[in-house]
Structure 1
Amino acid sequence: MSSPRVYRAAIIGTGGIARAHADAVKALEPRIELVAVADVDLDRARAFGHEHGVPAAYADAVELFATEELDLVHICTPPGSHTSLALLAQRAGVPALVEKPTALSLREIDQLLHAEQETGVPVLTVFQHRFGPAARHLAALVDRGVLGRPLVATCETLWYRDDEYFAVPWRGRWDVEGGGPTMGHGIHQFDLLLAILGPWAVVSAFAGRQSRPTDTEDVSIALARFENGALATVVNSVVSPRETSRLRFDFEYATVEVEHLYGYTSADWTFTPAPGHQELAAQWRPQASQERSGHRDQLAAILDAFDGGTAPEVSLADARRTMEFAAATYASAFGGAPIRAGEIAGTDPFLQSMDGGMVPWPSLKEARV
């Protein structure tokens, strides 16, 4: 009997989020092992490697791919480098797991899709909230039609980031972060919303820079209609002192809710059957888990797909749908009109960049002049 395959992984970028990736790999040993790290700051890469027991450190991603035999690379760098590094991984024949956002624009996502068609190498996006046991259970109930039609949904990411948070050079800038809380914070929650409700049809939105020292928005609010007729509100904020992340789904026969902050457990979900449908309470039996939804669950699902020879989640096509929702939020907010799915195409400026060159407030540099 052959021994189970052990997958070899590397991390590019050893900032704060890289620790979540390293911990996920550690939790899944011996199925996968972290064999190398890379960072433009070699000393930081070596320190990270020493902390996590990684044998090799590199200052250059090209050298990493030329030297190591890898099955998966985790891209944990600031957003502005995600596309170039993912393309490098595809050319090296190594699947990449990229922190959100996958890219800075729909145009960049389409570049990756083109490269995927040429190379056959997938690029996956970290949307870990899809993979908690309760979310998986809800998705299965929806697929089976147990809860009836989805009618109304609420998606809120109400977080707080002070001015010091935006002192990091790449934060709060369209050109290197791609957007504000719509792209960098709330995207996790509305990705789960889309995963449960399916394709969206039209978005109407507002966005504003209420108080933070950024070029991007610090608040956005979207209204969405889905192809199945469901209506939803999506709020993304980094100016909200009482922080919470909340999703509520109202179906014909039940309401399903989760409230958490940076990751949920099964206990964070509630299920309320509609009058006359009390028997459905017995259907809400997600796997009990005290672990917060996180990178480990998604990485485990990826390894399961590798083992089974199936396509792993979250694909570029899935990530593009979520990114298109973000782009539509900006396009509607700045253009003052609803945006339909598929409308951002051709020469549309919001295909090229999330701001579309139409931000209605001055940049911080312009404001200082």
Structure 2
Amino acid sequence: MRRAAIVGTGGIASAHAEALRAAGDRVELVAVVDVDAERASAFAEEWGVPRVHPTSTALLDAEALDVVHVCTPPRHHVPLALECLAADVHVLVEKPPAMSLSEIDVLIAAERASAGRVATVFQHRFGPAAVRLRRLVSEGAFGRSFVAKCDTLWYRGDAYFDVPWRGTWDSEGGGPTMGHGIHQFDLLLSVLGPWREIRAVAVRQARDVQTEDVSMALVTFADGTVASVVNSLLSPRETSQLRFDFEHATVEVEHLYGYTDAHWTVTPAPGHDDVVTRWRAEPSGIVSGHRWQLAAFLDALDSGETPPVTLADTRQTTEFIAALYASAFTGTVVEAGQLGPDSPFYATMEGIGAPWANAR
């Protein structure tokens, strides 16, 4: 049985604890860490965790671990992951995995020198419908990809940002582009593959924050697909939507924080009803979520493979975010591979600074 620990016992940690419990005798949650000792103890009691440690250093010194689940606020993700890699412990890190492209590259270098591996929590990749979609796309069942859209239209009121680390570049790394829409457009990228260029806008419409509260992007992919991506925290009718218009069918999903097959529709082009038959051949009522990514993570460890989502996958998504901000704040088209160490958007998503910064 593998041994796991959770660092950070805020809201998202419960999803990890639930996933670990669902894994049964494959893995045991043996310890937790939190800067708030009372919260850590309450979490440990709720989930039956035998030990609480005051710091990650104390955790790694005291426990023989296979994996650490990093569930802290974003600015702590990379330092904790680096500490685990130095101890040759695997890491499953919540989104956003890093605050910048430069931090991702630091992780990649550290991983090369470690027996541990870093996987990013992008749980929507692991719902059965998404797995099926990627397979059918790779098999050519839908034909060429033409058009796509990806909308994360959520609502977060002013009170949401009363938490000190929210809405700041230093602590959260960005607004809805970084911390909310990331799940949907990561799924988009996992289906469509490498992107080629981005034209974007980002604005601060209503919330008293440093970051944007809305962003939009027009994206061209390497295969020629054109897509729109919208990320908002100002949308009272909340929804998460993806649409793919292929040569032989339109594939759509609308949900909020997790989907089953019931949230997906496939509309065939004339003469291509067979794609619907193939889609429906493997029905599933499973809800996408942490449980299924953890299962895939453990499967990879058991087989000696690199756990998904790899740092190479994560870098593609992180570069997408950096390019969106770079395009929005400079008013230019940004191409994949353009943001190297000489770019201000390599070291921080804020880059040259948001246009509204001087208005605060």
Tell me the secondary structure at the aligned position of residue 22 of structure 1. Answer: helix
Give the letter for the 2:279 counterpart: W
- Post-superposition offset of 1:287: 4.1
Scaled by the length of structure 1, the TM-score of the pair is 0.96
SS for the counterpart of 1:119 is: coil
Aligned counterpart, 1:111: 106
Specify the alignment match of 1:3 in structure 2. none
Name which of 58, 64, 78 aligns with 1:69. 64
Q: How does 1:38-49 map to 2 (within 5 A)?
A: 38-49=33-44
In the alignment, which of 176, 184, 190 is matched to residue 185 of structure 2?
190
Match of 1:160 among 155, 163, 187: 155
Deviation at 1:280, TM superposition (A): 1.8
Aligned residue type for 1:248: R
Q: Quick one: distance in 1 between partners of 2:71 and 2:341?
A: 31
Find 1:355's aligned residue among 322, 340, 350: 350
Distance apart, 1:46 and its partner CA: 1.2
Q: Does 1:173 align with 2:171?
A: no
Report the more deviating stretch, 305-314 or 183-192: 305-314
- How many residue pairs match? The answer is 360
Q: 1:224 aligns with which of 219, 222, 244?
A: 219
Any residues of structure 2 matched to 1:1-369 within 5 Å, and which? 6-285=1-280, 287-362=282-357, 367=360
> Structure 1 CA distance, aligned partners of 2:6 and 2:170?
24
Equivalent AA in structure 2 for residue 213 of structure 1? D
Structure 1: tracts of 5 or more residues without a match = 1-5
Q: Deviations over 1:34-63 (max 9, x none)?
A: 111011112211110010000000111001
Amino acid at match of 1:225: T
- Summarize deviations over 1:62-103 as a string: whole Å, max 9, x none: 010011111111000000100100000000111100000011
Q: Unaligned regions of 5+ residues in structure 2, if any?
A: none
Give, as a single letter, the amino acid of the residue that structure 1 aligns with 2:287: R
Give distance in 2, aligned partners of 1:265 and 1:227. 29
Greater Cα shift, 277-286 or 191-200: 277-286
> How far apart, in 2, do the equivalents of 1:260 and 1:284 lie?
19
| 1:146 to partner: Cα distance | 1.1
Q: CA RMSD in A?
A: 1.0
Structure-2 change in CA distance of 1:286 and 1:295 (3 Å): farther
Structure-1 separation of matches of 2:198 and 2:121:
24
Report how far residue 286 of structure 1 moved: 6.2
SS, match of residue 310 in structure 1:
coil
Distance 1:286 1:24, change over 3 A: farther
The answer to whether the 8 Å contact 1:137/1:286 transfers is no
What residue identity is the alignment partner of 1:68? E
CA distance in 1, matches of 2:215, 2:254: 20
Give deviations 1:293-316, integer Å, cap 9, x for gaps: 100010000011111111110011
Comparing 119-128 and 321-330, the one that deviates more:
119-128
How far did 1:291 drift?
Answer: 3.4
1:285 shift after superposition:
2.6
Per-residue CA deviations over 1:266-291 (Å, capped at 9, x if unaligned) read 11000111011112211103643333
SS in structure 1 opposite 2:75?
helix
- 1-structure distance, mates of 2:156, 2:23: 32
Q: Which runs of 4+ in 1 moved over 4 A?
A: none
**Distance of 1:53 and 1:68 partners within structure 2:** 17
Q: Percent identity?
A: 59
Question: TM-score, normalized by length of structure 2?
Answer: 0.98
Give the direction of change, closer, same or farther, for the CA distance of 1:286–1:211 in structure 2 (3 Å limit): farther
Q: 1:266–1:286: 8 Å Cα contact kept in structure 2?
A: no
Whether the 8 Å CA contact 1:150–1:230 is kept in 2: the answer is yes
Separation in 2, partners of 1:291, 1:140: 18
